[in-house]
Amino acid sequence: MKQKSEKKQGKSGGTLRRYALPAVTLAATLALCGYLATTRLVPSRFLWAVLAVSLLLSGAVLGLCRMPSRVGRIAGAVLTVAVAAVCLLAGVYLWRTVHTVKSISGTAVERTRVGVYVPEESPLQSPEDLTEMTVGILGALDRANTDAALEQLETEEGISVSVSEYDGLTALAEGLQQGETDAILLNEAYLALYEETSGYEEFAASLREILTLQIEHEVTTGQDLLDDPVINLLISGSDTRGDIVDQRGRSDVNIIASINTQTHQVLLVSTPRDYFVPLDVGVEDAYDKLTHAGIYGMDVLRGTLENLYGIEIDYYFRLNFVGFVQVIDALGGVDVYSDYTFDSGEYHYEQGINTLDGAAALAFVRNRYAFAEGDRQRGENQMAVVEAVLQKAMSPAILANYLSILDSVQSCVDTNVPYDVLSALVRQQLEEGAIWTVESCSVNGSDATSTTYSMNQELYVMIPDEETVQAAQEKLAAIGNTVDSQIQSAEETSPAA
């Protein structure tokens, strides 16, 4: 009886071993397939393929485990461990991808940093020292942020101050320098404007910040335009040294990417940062440099460019170019075409293809003084780097440091493109495997000086060349009309016609 019982237990244990490993294999592959389906990143045929592979692998493990030899059972166990490890690794990479995409997409809030500044030599050291002190503010410009910051100062910090209003940035600076005020309360983005103003270039450097206040603003959320074959996307970038992606500030990179998902064409239109255009701030004739539009938020920047080109901009991508250095380094560098041979700081660039790391790419997009065309050429260089990054990102090289790239992207990009739209674009690309054609163009203008809305005094500006603006408008319209013209052409040549 004892021998019979032992045989029965041995048979039962052998059966368990034969079916446990195939079950583990099937469970691991099905779990990956199920999670892949929830991400909505891959076409359904890919999911069916993964399902078919999971069944084949489970069958292979079952066949190995049923082999009478010990070698077959060991091979089945090794295959099970390998499949489970691959599924686990793939799941981790997939989760990190989805987490990153969701973290940067669907942005609904942007922030303005408002600081309280004192002269470097001021005896005021802490926020508490401001109590009952006189603080200078802008009387009309950016008043919504100023009022919100003053309210925070009183309700959250418990600090009550006396306020002195000034008509403009230069008057505000003079009030502080002449001792009329003990401190100034100012949108941090305005500090960079002093650097553009003759006689005030060093003013920002002479200040010491003793308190920072964060003001949150809602932005227009992107809509799901899944049925629209043409998407207009604003790529806005700053090469300032701030480390907050969703912070309002000057936009030094202003590229409209018009994407036709049916014809697989991309048109990049670059607008110089100093273009003298009316800002979409709800004030008549608020002419200013385009770069200053970013101070008032992405909605103002989008509206300003929509008015300039007569289009609707569906979404935006905001890049922090300092953080973008990390992306380029994680990619292992990028190959960028330079129109000229020139030097920028410690870096040298030859006309033609240059392989650049992150720091060299940042120096490349920042320089404008090496060129007779100035900011016009800087815009061309910015587009060249963006194109190079896109090309590298679509190559197998992206797999080498994939997780590092995801971390870098998360720290320097935000967008109001909904996750569903991003996942649909990825799914379409995987389904079609399309090769995209990219065309770029820039608008031009003439050098001038004019009074600007943000500074209320004369600064260098670029007066738009209407012919180049019209040419860009026509190119943007052509990208949008390509689908309609193809449909019309097909109808005209069909037998029914």
- Model pLDDT, residue 190: 92
Q: In angstroms, rounded to a whole number, what is the distance separating the alpha carbons of residues 417 and 105? A: 5
Indicate whether 194 pLDDT > 50. yes
Tell me if 450 sits within 8 A of 430, measured CB to CB. Answer: no
- Model pLDDT, residue 395: 73
Measured CA angle at 234 (ends 276, 389), to 5 deg: 115
- Model pLDDT, residue 223: 66
What is the average pLDDT value for the chain, to the nearest integer?
86
- Model pLDDT, residue 203: 95
Indicate whether 175 pLDDT > 90. yes
Q: In angstroms, rounded to a whole number, what is the distance separating the alpha carbons of residues 279 and 258? A: 22
Q: In angstroms, rounded to a whole number, what is the distance separating the alpha carbons of residues 319 and 413? A: 5
**Residue for token pair 């069916």:** 48
Instruction: Give the residues across from 414 on adjacent strands.
Output: 318
Q: In angstroms, rounded to a whole number, what is the distance separating the alpha carbons of residues 72 and 116? A: 74
pLDDT, tens only, 300-319: 999 999 999 999 999 998 88
Spell out the domains of the chain, with CATH numbers in brackets. Answer: 2-83 (no CATH), 109-218 (3.40.190.10), 230-492 (3.40.630.190)
Joined together, the tokens standing for residue 195 give 């650097």
Q: In angstroms, rounded to a whole number, what is the distance separating the alpha carbons of residues 96 and 100? A: 6
Residue among 237, 239, 138 at smallest CA distance from 187: 138
Residue among 288, 192, 293 at smallest CA distance from 234: 293
